[in-house]
Structure 1
């Protein structure tokens, strides 16, 4: 009897021992956190970006200079803002092909207003509002003419670009007063970071919260998951689509104002091709074209990755004409890897 009582008091060999609350299984907890981080939708694009920066930097150390890296972030701002809005649209199974033209037209409109004596900050506000109006035009065409968004925006791509060229007569908008606070503030730096980069980070964080923690974000994802079920549940698909298109236009307006403040001049052809880069950035960042989910932070990382690719090509003396080829290749690889990972995950769930 005494032997039995003693054996019950002592732990048996190989039995798990209770961890103290203070100690815990710290290595296991850290491994779990790392595993969850690697499984995040934006993890692959972040790792790819870091790896690519390391490869280019190893061959050309000047690529790793802070000024060069800041230039890449600065160049990523405009496509990044468009990609954030595009991630909302792609999550709804929609695509806006006119965002590059919206960006250019808003930049030109703001520059023309400033050149005609309008207060710079008022002109900037009008530029952002103009972007929202352009988005509303797209929404009206889609809603009332009842044609797919991709077809409607393919038409307005040319309409908005042609309007920008017509307003300027095909000439650049120059001669702006760059000593104005609009240019020194929005085109300047805070703590060594370009203001435009800070704006991009703030916008991305706000829209991430909106997407994942508000009823509006829930409706966007619900429509992308199953439009018929969302409509049956009482969600107005047309209204939400209109709101998202207006949001995308407003982001194009913000990007246009930041671009004007940085470049201090306006070219009516600026932003050409931004629409494809924005779509690519959203997809590379982890927003699948099938809809139902979106990665806002991943879209920003995707825009940075595309600019790292473009900048890296110049360091290896590869002609700029190959930039589009490299971008397309990156998209194919990213979509292919995402498809492979998704199929394996679904197979694991079935088994």
Structure 2
């Protein structure tokens, strides 16, 4: 027993060192991609294009941070795209009938949290595999969005200028969504790094049975991360419709796959218990730059889907091989 205790600080140092090198590697990949983008098209360095990239980083990043919480518990959330759609059409409908903007924002967040809570209850109380539960919610949510909107976009009046600021406004020279992303990332980093709840998430993802025996409420922890994921998907939806001034029932199609790709690229293990917000932030930046490079190079949207799928497969293969190497080394 004493030998195990003696080895714990060394193991923790190795884990921190491993995270440092992975994060450093991601930063170098991002720098290399930016240089490549500038060489492929000088338009990449255009300030207008840079702002667009940052806005994409924010939109991808906010929902990916929510997914990071879920994946750290060895779960998955395939419903975030459908949550975006439901919140988009329901919030647009509320704006259309003249509900005050603050109430619309609160209602939108509440809808996202409620859908996340249903996912959490299905996984914890219903004991459904996260893949099955969130896949079902993905289908139900998309159907609900179509039902609310009758399959048509919902436009809201131009009188909602205050709401438009959420997605179109600027603060200190940067788009408001970027500031929201920075705030969400900072709060998520603090929660995961410095709070008991954050430590519980890592413990549950690493070994749920050991976490349960140590007194952690595993069910409540898992339930909470799905609520967080739903809330951040809802925030993404509010930013999205604020920018477009229309609630689309097809909003968020494929967003769950992009968020998974970003989270995995950022170093969060699909097997749980390893990863973090900083990696997800860099992963969102890498993903947005890759998408921007493909657009600037004139690659068709269909081919871009092939590239995104290949990125997901490559990231998961890399993670699986890394875990096998670590397992054999130990």
Q: Normalized against structure 2, the TM-score is what?
A: 0.89
Q: Which has the larger radius of gyration?
A: 1
**CA displacement at 1:75 relative to structure 2:** 1.9
Distance, in Å, in 1 between the alignment partners of 2:261 and 2:207 is 23
Contact 1:178 1:264 in 2 (8 A): no
Distance, in Å, in 1 between the alignment partners of 2:21 and 2:175 is 28
Choose the corresponding residue for 1:226, options 202, 207, 226: 207
Unaligned regions of 5+ residues in structure 1, if any? Answer: 1-35
More helix by share: 2
Q: Specify the alignment match of 1:332 in structure 2.
A: 313
Deviations 1:255-312 (A, max 9, x none): 1111111111111101011111111111100101121122212112212222222221
Unaligned regions of 5+ residues in structure 2, if any? Answer: 1-16
- Partner of 2:309, secondary structure, is helix
Residues 330, 178 of structure 1: CA spacing in aligned structure 2 closer, same or farther, 3 A cutoff? Answer: farther
Distance, in Å, in 1 between the alignment partners of 2:213 and 2:244 is 48
Aligned ranges for residues 295-306 of structure 1 at < 5 Å? 295-306=276-287
Aligned ranges for residues 50-69 of structure 1 at < 5 Å? 50-69=31-50
- Partner of 1:272, secondary structure, is coil
**CA displacement at 1:133 relative to structure 2:** 0.7
Q: Specify the alignment match of 1:251 in structure 2.
A: 232
Distance, in Å, in 2 between the alignment partners of 1:87 and 1:185 is 24
Q: Specify the alignment match of 2:221 in structure 1.
A: 240
Q: Specify the alignment match of 1:184 in structure 2.
A: 165
Q: Specify the alignment match of 2:78 in structure 1.
A: 97
Choose the corresponding residue for 1:211, options 187, 192, 196: 192
- Of the structure 1 ranges 212-221 and 168-177, higher mean CA displacement relative to structure 2 is found in 168-177
Query: Could you say what the CA RMSD is over the residues aligned between the two structures, in angstroms?
Result: 2.1
Aligned ranges for residues 73-92 of structure 1 at < 5 Å? 73-92=54-73
Choose the corresponding residue for 1:199, options 154, 167, 180: 180
- Partner of 1:94, secondary structure, is coil
Q: Tell me, yes or no, if structure 1 residue 261 matches structure 2 residue 242.
A: yes
Q: Specify the alignment match of 1:321 in structure 2.
A: 302
Contact 2:91 2:247 in 1 (8 A): no
Distance, in Å, in 1 between the alignment partners of 2:166 and 2:308 is 32
Distance, in Å, in 1 between the alignment partners of 2:18 and 2:291 is 27
**CA displacement at 1:216 relative to structure 2:** 0.2
Deviations 1:241-264 (A, max 9, x none): 111111111111111111111111
Q: Specify the alignment match of 2:260 in structure 1.
A: 279
Residues 174, 93 of structure 1: CA spacing in aligned structure 2 closer, same or farther, 3 A cutoff? Answer: same
Q: Specify the alignment match of 2:53 in structure 1.
A: 72
**CA displacement at 1:50 relative to structure 2:** 1.9
Aligned residues: 315
Distance, in Å, in 2 between the alignment partners of 1:75 and 1:55 is 19
Residues 115, 313 of structure 1: CA spacing in aligned structure 2 closer, same or farther, 3 A cutoff? Answer: same
Q: Normalized against structure 1, the TM-score is what?
A: 0.84
**CA displacement at 1:178 relative to structure 2:** 5.3
Q: Tell me, yes or no, if structure 1 residue 136 matches structure 2 residue 117.
A: yes
Distance, in Å, in 1 between the alignment partners of 2:277 and 2:157 is 34
Residues 37, 287 of structure 1: CA spacing in aligned structure 2 closer, same or farther, 3 A cutoff? Answer: closer
**CA displacement at 1:141 relative to structure 2:** 2.0
